[in-house]
């Protein structure tokens, strides 16, 4: 569990009061085990996606060279994806290459309720 100082989510009179942030259920239960370095799925989480679209590059090189962009994602070991997504090569344009490709879609581990934001509770 975490304690943090109030932010823009509360009424103005409560902004300076400490807030209490409850850990996710699977991290508080004694019958569950959470290992951030494990490559197995995590209890209490659902898979979501994160998409990245590369449109162009700017000032990559002042030489006429071929360029490409490689997109990696880092996170929990189950989230980490390296050297899987790469744009096509744009030849003879290191200054402002345009890629305009379909988005790369990453599977991402997401806690239940993460889209709605953290639930704050006062102590």
* 84-110 pLDDT tens trace: 788 888 999 888 888 888 888 876 655
Where does the chain hold its CATH 2.60.40.150 domain(s)?
Answer: 40-111
Residue 18: pLDDT above 90?
A: no
CA 35 to chain centre: 19
Is the Cα torsion angle 53, 55, 60, 64 positive or negative in sign? positive
- Mean pLDDT, range 17-37, rounded to an integer: 69
DSSP 25: H
Judge whether residue 81 has pLDDT over 50.
Answer: yes
Output the pLDDT for position 119.
43
Q: Which fold has domain 40-111?
A: Immunoglobulin-like (2.60.40)
Considering only residues 53 and 6, tell me which one the structure prediction assigns the higher pLDDT: 53
Q: So what's the pLDDT on residue 91?
A: 93
CA quadruple 87, 91, 92, 95: dihedral, nearest 10: -10
Residue 28 clears pLDDT 70, i.e. is over it: yes
Tell me how far apart the alpha carbons of residues 111 and 48 are, in angstroms, rounded to a whole number: 9
Q: What is the pLDDT of residue 120?
A: 40
Position 123 pLDDT exceeds 50: no
Structure token digits, residue 111: 């806690």
**Cα–Cα distance measured from residue 42 to residue 35, given in angstroms and rounded to the nearest whole number:** 8
């Amino acid at each position: 569990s975490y304690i943090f100082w109030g932010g823009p989510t509360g009424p103005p009179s409560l902004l300076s009061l400490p807030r209490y942030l409850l850990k996710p259920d699977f991290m508080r239960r004694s019958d569950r085990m959470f290992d951030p370095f494990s490559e197995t799925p995590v209890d209490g989480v659902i898979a979501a996606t994160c998409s990245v679209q590369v449109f162009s590059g700017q000032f990559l090189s002042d030489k006429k060279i071929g360029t490409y962009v490689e997109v990696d994602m880092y996170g929990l070991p189950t989230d980490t994806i390296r050297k899987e997504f790469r744009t096509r090569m744009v030849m003879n344009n290191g200054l402002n290459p345009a890629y305009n490709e379909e988005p790369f879609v990453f599977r991402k581990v997401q806690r239940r309720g993460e889209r709605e934001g953290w639930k704050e509770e006062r102590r």
